[in-house]
A and B are shown apart, each in its own frame.
Chain A
Amino acid sequence: MDFVAILGSAIQQALGPTAIIYCLAAIGLNVHFGYTGLLNFGQAGFMMVAGYAIACAVTIFASSLWLGVLVGLVLAALLALALGVPTLRLRADYLAIVTIASAEIIRQTIAAASFSEYFGGQDGVTDFIAGFRDANPYSGSVGIPGLFRWSAFDIWVMTVGWLLVAISCLIVFLLMRSPWGRVLKSIREDENAVRSLGKNVYAYKMQALVIGGIFGALAGFMVSLRSAAVGPSFFATDVTFFAYTVLLIGGAARVFGPVVGAIIFWFLITALGGFFSQATAGSDPLIPEAIMDPTQASLMRFIFLGLGLMLLMIFRPQGIFGDRRELAIDAR
């Protein structure tokens, strides 16, 4: 058992591009769910729209990535409006149903064979990243020898990514300490009370939906930039649920909740994956093949993660950053 290797890869993932993607997605969900109480189960849809926008700006329209970024943000905002207009006047469940369905509709449509000329069908879009690569100021790899190492490209992605995370956290912090943020939190607690105090609840929910969707779009950009490719498989429904897990681990309605949550989530899932793959590898594995073969072992991390999530919900449901006092109230 090579614990150093497990630790190394776990740290690499916990701070790497993938964690950044889930962190940004969870920041969006934090605005939606944590602060406003909106159940958006279609964050993957926002990510997908933005991820394809940045790729298609180059491949279809032969323009720059920057234009793709702009188009992606606008499309994410439009998607939020399209989802919000019919559902935000209704009970919270309707938004959940509509968002989860629309994320799948978007994914199936983009992946459809009829559009493969533009979107590449199941294979997705590649070869759009040249501009981003050229802008990379780093050369050579960075890391701690023997433990982990990031390529120059990864470091570049991470620089941009963590910068986006920092800006997003700052925006969330500034917004949520203001009276505007207070109205959002009030809406989460009781919509009708807020309405009786003269606030346009519908408009606030719409603003929150758009802003959270734009953070989702940032996550989508990072997917494209990290992989140098986008495809439908990057934006399956489980992406949204992983992002929710990240949010709940860190603690909802806390500015740094998604950041801490993403780091912990990817550290644990990588470490567990590494442990089980090593424990079942080789001719004389730690766990005998009669109990578990390597294919089964690759799924064990999700089982343990689920168990961990259950324990977290039982013993610290407010997440790492949550306030114990808030919980005492929920129980009433």
Chain B
Amino acid sequence: MPAETEPTLTKGGGTAAPAATRSAEARAALAGVEHEPGAKKPDPIVVAHGIRRQFGGLTAVDVEHLEIQKGVITALIGPNGAGKTTFFNLLTGFDRPNEGTWSFKGQALDKVPAYKVARMGMVRTFQLTKVLSRLTVIENMRVGATDQRGEGLLSAMFAWLWRGQEQDNTVKADELLERFLLHKKREDFAGSLSGGQRKLLEMARALMADPELVMLDEPMAGVNPALKQSLLGHVKSLREEGRTVLFVEHDMDMVRDISDWVVVMAQGKVVAEGPPHTVMSDQRVIDAYLGSHHDQDLSEDVEEQILAEAQAEIDAEHPEETK
């Protein structure tokens, strides 16, 4: 899959018009999809069926059926311990389910190790950012490139075999660093970057492999508001390039802003899915995750009102105790 970094995109997020159309297209493709857990999608890139992962007596993930639509941004939300990250690990081969089948672009991944999953075009990032601390930023980027001739033991010692490819990769890496505003840090050790910069580096490094599906595990955790805006732009630009994005996130503003489709997990199961606004008004989601006042700012008035309601509820349930 060609990953064109068009000039409009390199400025961080793309211009309004194409973004809107891609987004509209993506949402249009999902228009006919039922808003029910396990809904069939018109063009799924990932299909998971009957995935169950148990840790001793605890069932961490128990997903009956889930399809991820190609070319759209799908958000995976849910309370802490809902099994989102475990599900991520299972899909990408970092963990094995007790049972279940799942596929990527129609190819079954049951026995495919994590590194091959990545080579197939399904590249992930981590919740706790994993940069290679004692390598420079540019070296971090170069590691991300796939199919490097110089990575074979036999050809490694003979620089003329891989130097050309290395230069191409470096050009590509520099473009990505420019786009992710990290080019000033090019020669610094990755370990000296701030938390937000590490998130950017990890995302940029994942793009070195030209993935079709980018899986981001909490890309916004610990990122300041200004950087958040540019990260949002980057995630959107991935969709403009025709990539599919699946991300885990707790930041509801981000989910509402950029996702085309939202999947809600609770206690290991998919409890709801649908477009962001529909899902966020779904009673099951509100009960399981958001809480009934999730879309209000917590001003004093509202706080008092909530307290009063709660008190009224208690009074109604236990009339004798309040006296």
Contacts and interface: CB of A to CB of B under 8 A. Distances in A.
29 contacts: A175-B156, A175-B157, A177-B159, A178-B150, A178-B157, A179-B142, A179-B149, A179-B166, A181-B156, A182-B139, A185-B135, A186-B132, A189-B134, A189-B135, A192-B126, A193-B130, A194-B143, A196-B124, A197-B144, A197-B209, A198-B209, A199-B151, A326-B134, A326-B189, A328-B192, A329-B133, A329-B191, A330-B191, A332-B191
Contacts of B192: 325, 328-329
A183 B113 CA distance: 18
Given A196-B123, A197-B143, A179 B132 contact: no
B146 A179 contact: no
Contacts of B144: 197
Contact of A180 (B92, B116, B153): B153
B124 A182 contact: no
A178 B156 contact: yes
B209 to A, nearest CB: 6
Interface of A: 171, 174-175, 177-183, 185-186, 188-190, 192-201, 207, 325-326, 328-330, 332
A332 B192 CA distance: 9
Given A182-B139, A183-B151, A197-B205, 6 more contacts: A178-B156, A179-B148, A185-B135, A195-B94, A198-B123, A198-B146
Chain B interface size band reads 35 or more
Nearest to A180: B156
Contacts of B92: 196
B114 interface: yes
Interface of B: 92, 94, 113-116, 118-119, 123-126, 130-135, 139, 142-144, 146, 148-153, 156-157, 159, 162, 166, 189, 191-192, 205-206, 208-209
B209 A185 contact: no
Q: Which of A178, A325, A326 has the most chain B CB atoms closer than 10 A to its own CB?
A: A178
Given A179-B150, A192-B130, A325-B189, A186 B135 contact: yes
B187 to A, nearest CB: 11
A197 B133 contact: no
Contacts of B130: 190, 192-193, 196
Nearest to A181: B156
B157 A195 contact: no
A188 to B, nearest CB: 8
B156 A195 contact: no
Contacts of B124: 196
Contact of B118 (A171, A183, A197): A197
A192 B94 CA distance: 8
Contacts of B156: 174-175, 178-181
Nearest to B143: A186
Contacts of B132: 185-186, 189-190, 193-194
B94 A329 contact: no
